[in-house]
Amino acid sequence: MIEARGVAFKYPGTAHLFERLDATFGQNEMVALTGASGRGKSTLLYLLGLMLQPVEGEVYVSGVPVSGLRDRDRSKLRAHHYGFIFQDAALDPSRTVLDNVIEGSLYRGDSRASARLKAMDLLEQFGVEPRSDAKPGQVSGGQAQRIALCRALLGEPAHLLADEPTGNLDPRTAETVIESLSERAREGATVIIATHDPVVIERCDRRLHLP
């Protein structure tokens, strides 16, 4: 479970994106974060994913307050318990597709051999295994997003956070991404998706709208 209690956030020199926000995201559910552009959907994802710290309030993971942890400890939590799918896939252009997928597992201390086997299975499952030796600049946008999904799923994280994961995808690829996230929620994960996509919103268990 991830909780936000009384959370407020603002970037320096700007107005608050939100104040005193309370929200709970449980196991076995997929939640859509909605709202107009600029209302803080991505920012809230980054707060819940421990990449930003609130200016007020607290984020709890499994009942434990985490916002005040040192960077090193928050990084460790992210590596072991989170999977992220960014809007632009955020693949390292200097690494191969396979190395992009397994990078996080090596940080967690997994063996390279086992990580490679799991990664190749995922890449095959999502139809991008033939691109495993390519660089990100050599794959299409839809392939890059499926590769990012493989990276997020590799460690079987308890929490999956996705920022507009279907924004630039064709309907067939979008369905693959949505169904994979939904399956992880059914298996016990907490899945949170920032989205404008009505198809994604319809597939989620509930919706948190940022006015």
Total domains, the chain: 1
Amino acid 170: pLDDT: 85
Q: List own/partner pairs for 50-53 with CB under 8 A and 24 or more apart.
A: 50/74, 50/77, 50/78, 50/82, 51/78, 52/9
163 φ, ψ (degrees, to nearest 5)? -110, 105
Domain range enclosing 104: 2-209
pLDDT of 24 reads 96
Tokens representing 61 are 């993971």
pLDDT of 106 reads 75
pLDDT by residue for the chain (211 residues), tens digit each? 899 999 999 999 888 888 999 999 999 999 999 998 888 999 999 999 999 999 999 999 999 999 889 999 998 899 889 999 988 888 999 999 999 999 888 777 788 888 999 999 999 988 888 889 999 999 988 889 889 999 999 989 999 999 999 887 888 888 988 999 999 999 999 999 999 999 999 999 999 999 8
Contact of 93 with 136, CB cutoff 8 Å:
yes
- Could you tell me the two tokens for 70? 């040192």
| Residue in the block written with tokens 């495993």 | 132
Give the CATH number, domain containing residue 79: 3.40.50.300
Amino acid, res. 146: R
**Model pTM?**
0.92
The answer to whether the Cα torsion of 33, 37, 39, 40 is positive or negative is positive
Task: Please list the alpha-helical segments (H only) found in the chain.
Answer: 41-48, 71-81, 97-107, 112-125, 141-153, 171-186, 198-203
Report the candidate in 201, 198, 209, 150 with the shortest Cα–Cα distance to residue 177. Answer: 150
- Report helix angle 97-107 to 141-153, nearest 10: 20
50 — alpha (psi -120 to 50), left (phi > 0) or beta? left
